[in-house]
A and B are shown apart, each in its own frame.
Chain A
């Protein structure tokens, strides 16, 4: 079952089209990454999913029900941008109030999410004394309150230290393993690559790529070859059939097969010290995709 489904989702603010005919389908139990450059329409889409703003056109289905439906929105845990809390209250009191706002939850549930978010020791401190990282953790705790079937979170690792980022990554994976669907918007692409099952990239309010992180974009692999200094000249001649750069006996060949490259070298009498196939990271491919889309938009006069 699709936990989130958007069909032709569009949002206009005056003449500006912020989200433009977005189609999305997020299956149950997935950790789904939602990527895009600043101003791409990610937060606007999330606000529409949570019923904070109304779409100008299109439909949104959440947990199988068509929005607007206040009951179904309340079943999704969420954290939008920088989480906000009542500064005069303690962390625990904030969660209790949020729980009651959504129809009530037990003290045990509040204690559970505080423990999961690593805030059990500071729960009686007022939120105004919390660091940014602690507020971020409290935001994640609030989103998990009541064991929602769907978590919609925007930049969950903002302000967290490396240990905190690892904790949140493991927490999200653990939640997904328990069956919670996580819809995650983040700029930390290395994190997204590690934690997400599928990724969507939007640019200018339109979906431009969607798939498993490893398959996203044009997969341009490269072969790194290391040869002895004495063989450099011969290797350069043999590898000239491909686009290649070299320095100090190291060659970077724009080709996806290490076997082909090594075969050419061996046939030419050059024995490589090492041949490694390199795959560009998600960040590299994301920049390529968004850069290409920006160029298209400029060309189309958008």
Chain B
């Protein structure tokens, strides 16, 4: 099993995986840069109602003061979130939401569905006939690619985000550099579980689709469909996307978004975190059963 795991990890050292990891990290950097710039713009010109722009009534002065205070608070929150300790929330949230799903879909497509596309599945199964073992190792390695991207993303953001915020001219965060590390680590830990779910869906998709593009499409498509279903008030709570929302407890974004998930999920009553975890485990188990069932079929490529 360990030899097989080593072999599968070695196969991950390929341009597709590096490229996808770099794209995700670049996306996180872009989001941070955009968030810092939005916060600076808001600080420079807070949102003041038109009627109060020229008016000098006491009520308008109060509204203007309130808008300036809100902008300063938001800017301070952005600065704080960009600290190396806190920025883990962004990395974890991004990897446990749509960007992470797309990464896993691409890696599953190349690393698992691609075995059929380039017909190496024949050699793989002729060497290692224990199909459950092959499935398990594929799932673990796809998951590992997601976790590696999460760690990489956090490390890059930890170095770059304070510089981006300083470059944008936001006020310095009056907090220790590693403040919030604990809660960030907790979010990252929860994101690892979500990545495991995405990887399980990707593994099942590969066993069903038996091709690179189809695996990517089914992995991303099925979870995006779940996200759409989560927006339906009557049945949304039973969608795997709602389980992810409940488990990650994504909150509404400030200037620097910490996820691309919560905005798609209905505003109805949310399940508790444990119910979310249970839902994730059950969804993963269903994906595993489907994967094992489909993978037992003849390999005719």
Contacts and interface: CB of A to CB of B under 8 A. Distances in A.
A172 to B, nearest CB: 19
A54 B131 CA distance: 13
A80 B3 contact: no
Contacts of A244: none
Interface residues of B, number: 24
B4 A52 contact: no
Contact of B3 (A73, A78, A101): A101
Given A52-B125, A70-B128, A101-B7, A84 B299 contact: no
Nearest to B299: A52
Nearest to B132: A70
A153 to B, nearest CB: 11
Given A53-B300, A83-B123, A97 B11 contact: yes
A68 to B, nearest CB: 8
Interface in B1-29: 3-4, 6-7, 10-11, 14-15
Contacts of A97: 7, 10-11
Given A53-B298, A70-B130, A74-B129, A98 B3 contact: no
A50 interface: yes
Contact of A102 (B14, B128, B300): B128
Contacts of A104: 3
A87 interface: yes
B148 interface: no
Contacts, number: 83
B300 A101 contact: no
B118 A100 contact: no
B120 A100 contact: no
B122 interface: yes
Contact of B123 (A54, A73, A93, A98): A98
Interface of A is mostly: loop
B10 A93 contact: yes
A88 to B, nearest CB: 5
Nearest to B118: A84
A14 interface: no
A142 interface: yes
A73 B126 contact: yes
A78 B126 contact: yes
Interface string B104-131: 0000000000000011101111111111
A84 B129 contact: no
Contacts of A68: 129
Contact of B122 (A69, A80, A89): A80
- Chain B interface mostly: helix
B128 A52 contact: no
Q: Taking each of A52, A69, A93, which has the highest tally of chain B beta carbons within 10 Å of its own beta carbon?
A: A52
A83 B124 CA distance: 12
A87 B129 contact: no
Interface string B123-161: 111111111000000000000000000000000000000
B127 A74 contact: yes
A74 B54 CA distance: 82
A168 B11 CA distance: 29
A120 B127 CA distance: 23
A85 B130 CA distance: 20
| Closest 10 pairs (CB-CB, A-B) | A70-B129, A100-B7, A53-B298, A84-B119, A102-B127, A104-B3, A101-B127, A52-B299, A73-B129, A100-B3
Interface of A: 47, 50-54, 68-71, 73-74, 76, 78, 80, 82-89, 93, 96-98, 100-104, 142
Given A85-B120, A98-B123, A102-B3, 15 more contacts: A51-B125, A70-B128, A74-B126, A78-B126, A84-B119, A84-B120, A86-B120, A93-B10, A97-B11, A98-B127, A100-B3, A100-B6, A101-B3, A102-B127, A104-B3
21 contacts: A51-B125, A51-B126, A52-B299, A69-B129, A74-B127, A74-B128, A82-B119, A83-B123, A84-B118, A84-B120, A84-B123, A85-B123, A89-B11, A100-B4, A100-B7, A101-B3, A101-B123, A102-B3, A102-B128, A103-B3, A142-B123
